Amino acid sequence: MESVRAPGRGLLPDLWRASAARSSVELKSFFRNRQSLVFTLFFPVILLVVFGAIFTGKVQGTETDFRQVFMAGIVAAGVMSTAFSGLAINIAIERDTGLISRLAMTPMPKSAYFIGKLVKVVVTTVVEMALLLGIAVTAFGLPLPSTAQRWFTPRLGADAGHRHVRADRDRPTARRSPTAVPPRRS
């Protein structure tokens, strides 16, 4: 059976319109669900506040604040959480409840479903990062990256690790112990 299209309309405008509608539905369902908000957005915020209040000082041998290390780890865990819950878990739940098969029977392009999921993940990730960075800067006084290059360069403790390796290499050692022990034969 062929689908009938109005003259001058192609598939791409239909995909964009359907994707925008599906993205709107995904975002509304996320922000209306208290459980999603608490565990996806506010749980990393709570972790940042607790760890930021407990741990103070600098990482040994560096000028890096402990809070900066925790901030990077919590942002990474938050991004992973939003992506994992936004895509993997929700798709599995929607499959089990039959939503995906019901949506497949509609005239919505199948790719619009995944574009809607992707938009939800991107928006929730940006919101979560803004929340975490805002709290880190205002409550704990952590500095933001100073240049555009540093915003897009993942440097999760690279300087501290490099200094640690260099310090170990320059330290004199009497004798190195073997790292692997051969198995005992009976």
Integer-rounded Cα radius of gyration of the chain: 24
Please give the Cα distance from 120 to 65 (Å, whole number).
Answer: 33
Write out the chain's pLDDT in tens, 186 residues: 455 455 545 556 688 999 999 999 999 999 998 888 888 888 888 888 888 888 788 888 888 788 888 888 888 888 888 888 778 888 899 999 999 999 999 889 989 999 999 999 999 988 988 898 888 888 888 887 778 777 776 554 444 444 444 444 445 554 544 455 555 665
What is the model's pLDDT at position 10?
57
Looking at residue 54, what is its pLDDT? 85
Confidence (pLDDT) at 18: 92
Q: Whose CA is closest to 46, among 10, 85, 78, 14?
A: 78
- Residues 124/40, Cβ–Cβ less than 8 Å: yes
Query: What is the distance between the alpha carbons of residues 131 and 141, in angstroms, rounded to a whole number?
Result: 14
Whole-number pLDDT of residue 61: 84
Report field, pTM of the whole predicted structure over 0.85: no
User: What whole-number distance in Å separates Cα of residue 171 and Cα of residue 175?
Assistant: 12
pLDDT at 2: 53
Give the pLDDT score at 166: 45
- Rounded to whole angstroms, the Cα distance separating 78 from 45 reads 9
Burial class (CB in 10 A: 0-12, 13-18, 19+), 54: exposed
